[in-house]
Amino acid sequence: MNKSSITKIGVFTSGGDAPGMNAAIRAVVRSCSYHNVETWGITRGYEGMIDGEMSKLGTRSVGNIIQRGGTILKCARSDSFKTKEGRAKAIANLRKHGIDGLVAIGGDGTFRGLHELIKDSGIPAISIPGTIDNDIAGTDYTIGYDTATNTAVEAIDRIRDTALSHNRLFFIEVMGRHSGYIAINSAIAGGAVAVIIPEEHTSFDSLYTLLEQTGKANKKSSLVVVAEGSRIGGAMELARMVTERSSYFDIKVTILGHLQRGGSPTYFDRVLASHMGLAAVEGLLQGKTDCMVGVQHGKMVLNPFEDIMNGQTHEIDREALRLAKILST
């Protein structure tokens, strides 16, 4: 039973989209319904909030979406929300419709925006981490990361199937401008010889030496997974550097790009999003605000925005990195 004063919760998706966001929207709507609270869907994130794009969502309106990638509420970036005037328009629209609680699904930019909105309006708000990069402090997993990594692994498997000739060297670039999570785990699961991530400096010389060794070890093909935020260059750049040094390798490059953002979410992302949606709604109804739902050591938690935004990062898993290196020989 809902004993809080909240009667209408607005939900929106913002920043970059991620598979599983729809499952989170569905969970928010149905958890609200269970607690006798109305849900309002705000389309196009903060931009839609400023433009007054919001309407009531019933439990039936989120049927048949749990398995769909993307987001039915659409994502957008909004420069005007960064201004006090922009936020004032958004707040006026929320008040006009009586929205007295918010759930935001997005990345750290979205959280920063929400923090400002709470400061300006006092409207309680909780966020849910939705980003394929898994780069948010305060949670072991973000919605979309598992799906994106599975997509990368499937692509790596397909690329490996074509690698029948000797000395073929593949550079496969995966998403992760600041985070090597997708790269490390797709490298382990895809059996790569090396992984290059933004968090760790790898010199080109050491990479080249490793590739020479694997060539001499009679490997039929070598796959190198490169995160897009690699400090020594992306897949194209690395391929060019190797070609300049030697004609020994037959080099191929694949950049997976936005392929990793789409597709049906995995069971893991659907379940994670469902738990997070319920936790966000129940957190608001228990009087929590200015915090993010996370999963830590298998349990749902609520961490204050201040802690998450205070320069903290989701540290890369050093043991996974060590594992990738040991098993690649």
Task: Give the catalytic positions in this structure.
Answer: 133
**What gap in Å lies between CA 7 and CA 17, rounded to an integer?**
28
Region near ligand ADP per CB under 6 A, out of 22-30, 111-119, 163-171, 210-218: 111-119
CB of 190 to ligand ADP, least distance (A): 26
Q: How far is the CB of 317 from ligand ADP (least distance, A)?
A: 22
Q: Which one of 102-110, 171-179, 216-224, 241-249 is the stretch in contact with ligand ADP (CB under 6 A)?
A: 102-110
Please pick, from the candidates 22, 39, 71, 110, the single residue that binds ligand ADP as defined by CB under 6 A: 110
**Contacting residue, 116, 212, 237, 317, with ligand ADP by CB under 6 A:** 116
| The only residue of 31, 43, 71, 78 in contact with ligand ADP, by rule CB under 6 A | 78
CB of 1 to ligand ADP, least distance (A): 33
**Sole window of 65-73, 110-118, 191-199, 248-256 interacting with ligand ADP (rule: CB under 6 A):** 110-118
Q: Rounded distance, CA 237 to CA 228, Å?
A: 11
Residue nearest to ligand ADP (CB): 109
Q: How far apart are CA 282 and CA 301, in angstroms?
A: 12
Q: Taking CB under 6 A as the criterion, which residues in 30-49 touch ligand ADP? A: 46
Q: Is position 112 an interface residue for ligand ADP (rule: CB under 6 A)?
A: yes
Task: Please write down the HEC assignment for all residues of the chain.
Answer: CCCCCCCEEEEEECCCCCCCHHHHHHHHHHHHHHCCCEEEEECCHHHHHHHCCEEEECHHHHCCCCCCCCCCCCCCCCCHHHCHHHHHHHHHHHHHCCCCEEEEEECHHHHHHHHHHHHHHCCCEEEEEECCCCCCCCCCCCECHHHHHHHHHHHHHHHHHCCCCCCEEEEEEECCCCCCHHHHHHHHHHCCCEEECCCCCCCHHHHHHHHHHHHHCCCCEEEEEEECCCCCCCHHHHHHHHHHHCCCCEEEEEECHHHHHCCCCCHHHHHHHHHHHHHHHHHHHCCCCCEEEEEECCEEEEEEHHHHHCCCCCCCCHHHHHHHHHHCC
Q: Nearest distance from residue 242's CB to ligand ADP, in Å? A: 33
Residues 118-137 that bind ligand ADP (CB under 6 A): 131
Supply the minimum distance, in Å, between the C-beta of residue 17 and ligand ADP.
9
Q: Which window, 3-11, 51-59, 104-112, 300-308, contacts ligand ADP (CB under 6 A)?
A: 104-112
User: What residues does 255 pair with on adjacent strands?
Assistant: 173
Which of residues 6, 8, 11, 16 is near ligand ADP by CB under 6 A? 16
Sign of the torsion angle spanned by Cα atoms 116, 117, 121, 124: negative
Judged by beta carbon, residue 109 or residue 190, the one nearer ligand ADP is 109
Q: Which of 2, 4, 82, 271 binds ligand ADP (CB under 6 A)?
A: 82
Query: Within 221-250, which residues bind ligand ADP (CB under 6 A)?
Result: none
Q: Which is nearer to ligand ADP, 113 or 124 (CB)?
A: 113
Site residues (vs ligand ADP, CB under 6 A): 14-16, 46, 77-78, 81-82, 106-110, 112-113, 116, 131
